[in-house]
Amino acid sequence: METVVIVGSGLVGKSWAMLWASAGHQVRLYDVVPEALASAPGQIKEILTLLEAKGQLRPSKLNVQEQLELISVHPDLKEALRGATYIQENTPEALEMKRNTFQLLDALLKEVGNTTAIIGSSTSTIQGSLFTNGLSVEERSIVVHPVNPPYFVNLVELIPTPGTKPEVGIRLRGLMESLGMKPVILNKELPGFALNRIQYAILNECWRLVNDGVLSVADVDTVMKEGLAPRYVFMGPLETAQLNAHGFVDYCQRYGQGINSVSQTMQEIPLMSGESCAEIDRQLQTILPDGQLPQRRAWRDENLARLASFKRELGL
């Protein structure tokens, strides 16, 4: 059993806590904001109770009460790190914040004599070496980037820095698999890792299509939801291509030139601001006013839970 310290108990931190507890591990929550820390267990209890009522808990040998008993709050980070085997950092996405947090973890781990705990960072876009370089924990630090919320979405990107010991990535891969996650290890650090590089390519083109007056916001989302997404739930774009011809080589022969010609017409990378940003927001507000975001997030999570259980049924 692992003793996991969650640093930062916001959206992602709470979801990580639920995930680790569902697999029977001890979870210690820490947050620099006392109110955030104090309210976290109640919020987790509320979410798990609701999921239980709907039959949408992640598969676990433990009932909700047993899972909740594994989660404790720790206002003193140093004490929380004593005996910890894994630490997941979830502070806000800013390089200085990550650097300060890793420096603090480095110092506190030294003070409590913890020389083995692995430290994962949830950062979505910042290369880990930028905040672990030169620290004594560098060789046991690694980016462990989840998709929000990790309790419901299985992909996790593991991105070792040049200073991370290879066995750390291997151990993390095993741990993540034991949680039922689907880890991928990147062979080198690059901005945005893999998921966000792909996501940003999609967002850029969606922006251009609206900006050029080709499609409305609603229609862009329909293209994705009703066109690309149904297949992508089950297979990636490369397998999709393979199936769309007599294999991938045939696909390249048939469509490679066309794909290249179309791609040449894609204009420069947009800066997402200004009048186009306001226009997309205006259209979005008529579909989903920002005031309804909390309910819509609950709806999203419920559907993700259903989808996860359907994929389990299919053995995917």
Ligand X SMILES: NC(=O)c1ccc[n+]([C@@H]2O[C@H](COP(=O)([O-])OP(=O)(O)OC[C@H]3O[C@@H](n4cnc5c(N)ncnc54)[C@H](O)[C@@H]3O)[C@@H](O)[C@H]2O)c1
Closer by beta carbon to ligand X, 142 or else 251: 142
Instruction: Tell me the residue number closest to ligand X, measured at CB.
Output: 10
* Cα(91)–Cα(7) distance, integer angstroms: 7
List Cα–Cα distances, 268 to 180, 213, 262, 265, 271, in angstroms.
Answer: 40, 16, 14, 9, 9
Q: Nearest approach, Cβ of 46 to ligand X (angstroms)?
A: 16
Is residue 95 a contact residue for ligand X (CB under 6 A)?
no
Gap between the Cα atoms of 186 and 193, Å rounded? 8
Instruction: Give the total of residues touching ligand X (CB under 6 A).
Output: 22
For position 120 contacting ligand X by CB under 6 A, the verdict is: no
Determine contact, residues 19/150, Cβ cutoff 8 Å.
yes
| Interface with ligand X, residue 32, by CB under 6 A | yes
Q: Which of 120, 128, 146, 160 binds ligand X (CB under 6 A)?
A: 146
101 contributes a contact to ligand X by CB under 6 A? yes
**Region of 4-12, 151-159, 252-260, 290-298 interacting with ligand X (CB under 6 A):** 4-12
Please state the φ and ψ torsions of residue 207, each to the nearest 5 degrees. Answer: -60, -50
d(CA 194, CA 125): 10
Least Cβ distance, residue 137 to ligand X (angstroms): 16
Output the six-digit token pair for 236.
Answer: 């990636």
Q: Would you count residue 164 as binding ligand X (CB under 6 A)?
A: no
Asked if 39 is part of the footprint of ligand X (rule: CB under 6 A), the reply reads: no
Q: Least CB distance from residue 109 to ligand X, whole Å?
A: 15
- Which of these ranges, 120-128, 174-182, 224-232, 277-285, lies near ligand X under the rule CB under 6 A? 120-128
Check binding of 36 to ligand X (CB under 6 A): yes
Residue 157 interacting with ligand X (CB under 6 A): no
Q: In 3D, which of 123, 244, 236 has the Cα closest to residue 182?
A: 236
- Nearest CA to 172 out of 146, 153, 148, 147 is that of 146
Task: Calculate the dihedral angle through the C-alpha atoms of 196, 202, 207, 209, rounding to the nearest 10 degrees.
Answer: 180
Closest CB to ligand X among residues 15, 164: 15
Tell me if 33 contacts ligand X by CB under 6 A. yes
Amino acid of residue 137: V
Residues 74-93 that bind ligand X (CB under 6 A): 90-93
User: Could you tell me the smallest distance in angstroms from the CB atom of residue 92 to ligand X?
Assistant: 5
C-beta closer to ligand X: residue 9 or 26: 9
* Environment class of 166 (CB within 10 Å of its CB; exposed 0-12, middle 13-18, buried 19+): exposed
Give min distance, CB of 10 to ligand X, in A.
Answer: 2
In contact, 48 and 58? CB cutoff 8 Å: no
Residue with tokens 């430290």: 119
Measured from the CB atom, the residue of 97 and 284 that comes closer to ligand X is 97
The footprint of ligand X (CB under 6 A) covers 7-13, 31-33, 36, 90-93, 101, 122-124, 145-146, 148
